[in-house]
A and B are shown apart, each in its own frame.
Chain A
């Protein structure tokens, strides 16, 4: 059976569940293509609420995938987010793994 063959040849355990969640995948994708981005940019691109975005960013930060830089511009808090080296590698690994799985279905 085809499904069996897929699960035999590729371990689905290798799919990174932190990145696999759609909102986080979206965040990772937009951070992957830029050097760094601010909070407003991520809200705008991902269409997530500020609260949701904060929670997902915290999760990514806990896993060492993103670095959150807080600063003040004219006394207004400004948050910049960038993908860490680990996050970049994890994203590329995730992409390879998922393509590999989908390619064999």
Chain B
């Protein structure tokens, strides 16, 4: 048998529930712009905390815009649990990194400090790439590959060309802005295409 049609429906449902409305792109865009501004202000060590708020923002926006239009479907427990686990691990790793940066910036004398900035970026890139790869394996959504490609190129550019902090943060901010614009456009199209269905009797 070529393709399992049930598996295909499962993939379609996952795609429809997660990406069609553009809300993940909006949340990701807001997050990237936010951390770019924080890092520019020298408060990058706080960014680890904010990644855990992405699912929260997505959920709030979905309750407002998506579910009244196309309904709500809960994916199987196992998948949801695994996904929550991934976010938790990512949040913990980034929080660990935040603590390291905070310790270095505030407690260690400058003579002992090493350039953790590049390592921090590489570490973040690795975590985000791992999350994207795992999600792509499950969802087969090409936008995830686009994200992964950007992050890989971005991390390589920072390492190879020794981009200054200002340029790095500007690129991050612009990518966030692009995501936000793309997501907002997708959401507007989605809202126009799917009117709110009347409440149940």
In angstroms, Cα B186 to Cα A99, docked, is 39
In angstroms, Cα B13 to Cα A36, docked, is 12
Given contacts A76-B199, A77-B199, A79-B200, contact A39 B13 (CB under 8 A): no
Between-chain CB contacts (< 8 Å), 30 pairs: A29-B6, A30-B73, A33-B6, A33-B13, A34-B13, A34-B74, A35-B73, A35-B74, A35-B75, A35-B76, A38-B71, A38-B72, A38-B73, A39-B71, A39-B200, A40-B71, A40-B197, A41-B70, A41-B71, A41-B72, A41-B73, A43-B197, A44-B71, A44-B194, A45-B71, A50-B200, A50-B201, A76-B200, A79-B200, A95-B6
Measured CB to CB, the residues of B under 8 A from A are 6, 9-10, 13, 67-77, 80, 194, 197, 199-201
Please tell me if the beta carbons of B13 and A30 are within 8 angstroms of each other in the complex: yes
In angstroms, Cα B80 to Cα A30, docked, is 17
In angstroms, Cα B182 to Cα A100, docked, is 46
Interface membership of A42, Cβ < 8 A: yes
In angstroms, Cα B63 to Cα A76, docked, is 14
In angstroms, Cα B189 to Cα A32, docked, is 29
Please tell me if the beta carbons of A37 and B10 are within 8 angstroms of each other in the complex: no
In angstroms, Cα B69 to Cα A16, docked, is 33
Residue of A nearest to B199 (CB): A76
Residue of B nearest to A78 (CB): B200
Q: How far apart are A89's CB and chain B's nearest CB, in angstroms?
A: 15
In angstroms, Cα B199 to Cα A44, docked, is 13
* Interchain Cβ contacts within 8 Å, total number: 65
In angstroms, Cα B200 to Cα A76, docked, is 8
- Name A's interface SS: helix
Residues of chain B within 8 A (CB-CB) of A42 are 71
Q: How far apart are A87's CB and chain B's nearest CB, in angstroms?
A: 14
Q: How far apart are B168's CB and chain A's nearest CB, in angstroms?
A: 41
Please tell me if the beta carbons of B67 and A34 are within 8 angstroms of each other in the complex: no
In angstroms, Cα B68 to Cα A70, docked, is 17
In angstroms, Cα B149 to Cα A70, docked, is 45
In angstroms, Cα B128 to Cα A91, docked, is 38
Q: How far apart are B72's CB and chain A's nearest CB, in angstroms?
A: 5
In angstroms, Cα B73 to Cα A40, docked, is 9
Residues of chain A within 8 A (CB-CB) of B10 are 33
Please tell me if the beta carbons of B6 and A77 are within 8 angstroms of each other in the complex: no
Given contacts A34-B13, A77-B200, A79-B200, contact A40 B72 (CB under 8 A): yes
Given contacts A39-B200, A44-B197, A78-B200, contact A34 B73 (CB under 8 A): yes
Please tell me if the beta carbons of A40 and B13 are within 8 angstroms of each other in the complex: no
Apart from the given pairs A34-B75, A35-B76, A37-B71, 13 other A-B contacts in the complex at a CB distance below 8 Å: A30-B9, A34-B73, A34-B76, A35-B74, A37-B72, A38-B72, A39-B71, A42-B71, A43-B71, A44-B71, A44-B194, A45-B13, A95-B6
Residues of chain B within 8 A (CB-CB) of A40 are 67-72, 197, 200
